[in-house]
Amino acid sequence: MGVTPAFWAGRRVLVTGHTGFKGSWLSLWLQHLGAELTGYALAPPTEPSLFEAAGLESGMTSVIADVRDLERLAAVVRERRPEVVIHMAAQPLVRHSYTHPVDTFATNVMGTVHVLEAVRRSGGVRAVVNVTSDKCYDNPETGQAFREADPLGGFDPYSGSKACAELVSAAYRSSFFAPGRHPDHGVALATARAGNVIGGGDWARDRLVPDIVAAFAAGRPVILRSPGAVRPWQHVLEPLAGYLALGERLWAGGPAYAEAWNFGPADEDARPVSWIVERMAAHWGPGARWEQDAGRHPHEAGWLHLDCAKARARLGWAPRLGLEQALAWTVDWYKAHAAGADARAATLRQILAYQEMAA
């Protein structure tokens, strides 16, 4: 079961983190579906940014503010009266969290508290999807795919902050949005744990695909820290489709879906970093290559994989793009952008193609 366009048409939706990579893709998709969209985030985190290149501000109410500012956030929720909230505002980078741990915890933990508190104060919000991360799990790297009931943890500040965001959500759900008291408060709160996303329009530093594209475009080798590290790679549209499907189910089914959900690729698409680079090089063309950085680096997990059987069985969600196709779409997007193509049109074209596949 895919995204239901009729559900989102005219629906009041708040997306936090709308100026980021995933938030920009989601904002354009919701604009296309006809949602009455409000975004709340800091200014775009990169230059260039998909948010600005695709002209997303013109199709929504865009509030540039910080989730660490509870009173500002609460005022926006009161004023805009969202029916569905998708919380994605975050400090999203593992390596950045080592150099900025306080900001990482403040944004990812207290930012989540503030979003849920704003929802609690406002009344009227019916569905909340809190996007955390596949890195929220305690990871002993046993080779087993993580299931939603597995223990939470986190070696680095980013991973730890996302585990904390899960605990915050569980506490708010138990204390204020309890499924057993749903008729009293009317809020269904779920968390979504997605794998590593790829796609056009990502220019973040220390993220694999932007690093690959920048190196290939400059004619220099990609320098890899951990070519053997395995991640659950997926096109950005895959988890976004999961978030939208989850939002729909929370609206219709309330307490039955107010829990944690994994959104990851097919088993065979959990691949090492070197495989991703080599396949992107094949799509890119002559001269694309990589080298290993022999220096010392902060700890990052060597293996991550998600078991998504629950989302398949109960949400009717499943990945539609194989990794080869996801990489081809990603390279095509960046090549089109480099050739001067309209970023909004290029992004929307892939959204529509995906939507047709998933229908």
190 lies in some domain: yes
- Alpha carbon distance 333, 343 (integer Å): 8
Lowest mean pLDDT of 156-165, 186-195, 284-293, 299-308, name the range.
299-308
Q: What is the pLDDT of residues 10-52, one digit of tens each?
A: 999 999 999 999 999 999 999 999 999 999 999 999 999 999 9
216 lies in some domain: no
Q: Are 257 and 214 in contact (CB under 8 A)?
A: no
- Alpha carbon distance 284, 208 (integer Å): 15
339 lies in some domain: no
Amino acid identity for residue 357 in this structure: M
CATH number of the domain that 45 lies in?
3.40.50.720
Rounded average pLDDT over 341-359: 95
358 lies in some domain: no
- Alpha carbon distance 209, 327 (integer Å): 9
Task: Calculate helix-pair angle for 323-338, 208-218, nearest 10 degrees.
Answer: 50
Counting the structural domains of the chain, the total is 1
178 lies in some domain: yes
Count the neighbouring beta carbons within 10 Å of the beta carbon of residue 84: 24
Please name the residues in contact with 215: beta carbons below 8 A apart, sequence gap of 6 or more: 221, 222, 223, 290
214 lies in some domain: no
Which pTM value belongs to this model?
A: 0.95
What pLDDT sits at residue 229? 84
Domain coverage including residue 82 = 5-199+234-266+303-321
What pLDDT sits at residue 267? 85
pLDDT-based confidence at residue 299 (cuts at 50, 70, 90): low
334 lies in some domain: no
What pLDDT sits at residue 303? 66
